[in-house]
Chains A and B, each alone.
Chain A
Amino acid sequence: MDELNFAEQTAARMKELYGLAGNHEVIRRTILSRIYYSVHHLSRYLLRRIGLRPETWRRNVHQRVIDEMRRQFVRTNMMNVEVAAFLTDMRRHRVNADYQLHTIISEGDVDDMFEIFDAYLNECRRLLEVIA
């Protein structure tokens, strides 16, 4: 399974899970976390496609992926600015879901996550065609 397929499959399965048990906060937290990791992997895949080697990075890997996406694709006008910030946004949602147990993760948060995930995924699909 490649990273694009992984992201698509993750979103599809998480939407199913949300429909089945989205009324439970543990499920909502799990969905936010899984969705973020799928776009993290997809972003690493994009960086690998242009010759970078994220698998060799040892420190601050998540932030470095975000920074390199910015450098390699946004500043070169290959990726739309309005979508680029969503990777950080999704990471923030993931950190909130994984660490901040006293904040409420609402159904609205999950709906928003799916929405920005879809926008980011579509931009990555477009980018993959450009850099192919």
Chain B
Amino acid sequence: MKVSERKALKQRITDLATEQFGDLLTKIRFSGPFEEEDLDVDLILRRRIPLKELGTKLWNINEPLFEEGYNVLIGHEFDERPKKKKAKRKAES
């Protein structure tokens, strides 16, 4: 994939992810490819949401990319747990 195409793909993913998750989205981490995919993406979410809602939103990002011919691996992470651990560590110290 050419640099310009990769850049456009990243922007497309950012737009789709923002549209789906809005303020829940704290960060998007791009990496790869590691195998045969075009790009790897981790969506870092501010807090936990119901599984059905999460799955639907991920699908709404995956499906248009598939239709556009991209092979993108999109995963999610919640950033609430590390914050809790940090807060706990602070309280303990």
What 1/0 mask marks residues of chain A from 89 to 132 whose CB sits below 8 Å from any chain B CB? 10111011011100000111100100110010000000000000
In the complex, number of A-B residue pairs with CB atoms less than 8 Å apart: 83
Closest-CB distance, A26 to chain B (whole angstroms): 19
Question: Does any Cβ of B come within 8 Å of A88's Cβ?
Answer: yes
Residue of A nearest to B34 (CB): A99
B-chain residues with CB within 8 Å of residue A76 when the two chains form the complex: none
Question: Does any Cβ of A come within 8 Å of B71's Cβ?
Answer: yes
Cross-chain contact of A81 among B37, B51, B55, B77 (Cβ < 8 A): B55
Closest 8 pairs between A and B when the two form their complex, measured CB to CB: A92-B75, A82-B55, A108-B81, A85-B58, A85-B59, A92-B73, A99-B34, A82-B52
Binding site for A on B (CB under 8 A): 31-32, 34-37, 40-42, 51-56, 58-59, 61-63, 66, 71, 73-78, 80-82
A-chain residues with CB within 8 Å of residue B32 when the two chains form the complex: 95, 99
The A interface, classified by DSSP as helix, strand, loop or mixed, is helix
Binding site for B on A (CB under 8 A): 59-60, 62-63, 67, 70, 80-86, 88-89, 91-93, 95-96, 98-100, 106-109, 112, 115-116, 119
Tell me if A116 and B51 are in contact (CB < 8 A): yes
A-chain residues with CB within 8 Å of residue B37 when the two chains form the complex: 63, 95
